[in-house]
Amino acid sequence: MSKRPRTLDSFFSPPPTKKSRVQEDGDSTQVAKGRSATSTESSKHSTYPFAVPHLPPEISDILNFAPSEEGRIINDQPDLDLLYFQPYIPKNIEKSLFEFLRSELFFYRVKYNIKRGPVETQINTPRYTTVFGVDDTSRFNENGEVVDAATGKPAVGKNAYTCKPRPLPQCLAMLKTLTENATGCTFNFALVNYYASGNDSISYHSDDERFLGSLPAIASFSLGAKRDFLLRHKKTPAGDPSESKPMKLPLASGDMILMRGKTQSCWEHSIPKRKGGEADKGRINITFRRNMTKAGTANYHRYNVGHGGVFKWDDRKREMVPWERN
Ligand SMILES: O=C(O)CCC(=O)C(=O)O
Ligand SMILES: [Fe+2]
């Protein structure tokens, strides 16, 4: 069983009120009052368009029991090393965790240009994205400022960030800590995708950037609609037979897949568009990664935050809508 995680409450929000402390002590007569007090606590940061509420105790208390099942090793194909938790998130909170994150996080629908030779093409990312965290060179101090990991001083000049790193909100920090305890891996970055329908997708790619180091371990959570996760071996000069055997994992809500070893250097993965099944339902994917460099942080911001507007879930319209400060 994993250890109970520490949370980052200390610098995200004021100290807990008496009521929430009573509730945390488990005095059931105070639960209702304690809940309303706790639900007003939130993660705030100068880079956040709006505050992100802390997980309500009915979710966080049960999340402490994750992983729900032991991971199953899948390494029966060349260079593949997966640990598949089916599920990781306890069944009785998987839906409410999905709805909480969809409602409370801010998302972006990023457009960017790529240049191939003389031709510039605009890419419309076919899903909503958002990122949190910072690379190994830096950390957030008690005031929430990003500072050098070793000296505690802000990076200046050519060492300064070209983006504004944002700390993980408590809801993701808690899941990250649990995942670290269960897997023995260390993460400092979270990338969240929201696939609004079967029309949203991610094409074949590997998370093999240099800023993730060699043999990176990436923990990938699924919440909401079931979607196929496809994996295929990268082309090898020798035309290894493994190239012709793609794999399909039908990822269900609450599942977690840890990709490790040579998986990123030798395999590609994708979530293709789909029709039918749960195609009209949304899906959240959270990946925890360990990012090594400032350039990595800037890269994640460019492709997952961009310069465009913020989107937030509208529960009445049942869709992501542009969000504006009022
Ligand atoms: O949605 C998923 O399950 C995969 C997402 C992914 O591969 C990525 O964000 O790099
Ligand atoms: Fe990926």
Question: What are the DSSP calls for 182-244, one per residue?
Answer: HH-----EEEEEEE-STT--EEEE----GGG-SS--EEEEEEES-EEEEEEEPP-TT--GGGG
What mean pLDDT is predicted for residues 187-205? 98
Q: What is the predicted pLDDT for the residue at 326? A: 84
Which ligand is in closest contact with the Cα of 303? 1
With bands split at pLDDT 50, 70 and 90, how would you rate the model's confidence at 236? Answer: confident
Which ligand is in closest contact with the Cα of 229? 1
What is the distance in A from the centroid of ligand 2 to the CA of 294? 20
Indicate if ligand 1 lies below 6 Å from the C-beta of 127: no
User: Can you list the domains of the chain with their CATH numbers?
Assistant: 8-40 (no CATH), 53-316 (2.60.120.590)
What is the distance in A from the centroid of ligand 1 to the CA of 202? 7
- Which helix (DSSP H) or strand (DSSP E) does residue 122 occupy? strand 119-124
Most confident listed range (21-25, 133-137, 155-159, 274-278): 133-137
Q: What is the predicted pLDDT for the residue at 17? A: 34
Indicate if ligand 1 lies below 6 Å from the C-beta of 131: no
Indicate if ligand 1 lies below 6 Å from the C-beta of 257: no
Q: Which atom of ligand 1 is nearest to the CA of 191?
A: 9
For the question of an ipTM over 0.90, the answer is yes
Q: What is the predicted pLDDT for the residue at 39? A: 53
Q: What is the predicted pLDDT for the residue at 75? A: 95
Q: Is the model more confident about 115 or about 4?
A: 115
Which ligand is in closest contact with the Cα of 264? 2
Q: pLDDT, tens digit, for every residue of 157-181?
A: 998 999 999 999 999 999 999 999 9
Indicate if ligand 1 lies below 6 Å from the C-beta of 130: no
Lowest mean pLDDT among 15-19, 25-29, 40-44, 87-91: 25-29
Tell me which residue has its CA closest to atom 10 in ligand 1.
207
Which residue reads 């099944």 in tokens?
277
pLDDT at 3 over 60: no
For residue 16, what are its two tokens?
């807990």
For residue 229, what are its two tokens?
């996760």
Average pLDDT value for the chain: 88
Q: Is the model more confident about 199 or about 326?
A: 199
Q: Which atom of ligand 1 is nearest to the CA of 195?
A: 1
With bands split at pLDDT 50, 70 and 90, how would you rate the model's confidence at 51? Answer: very high
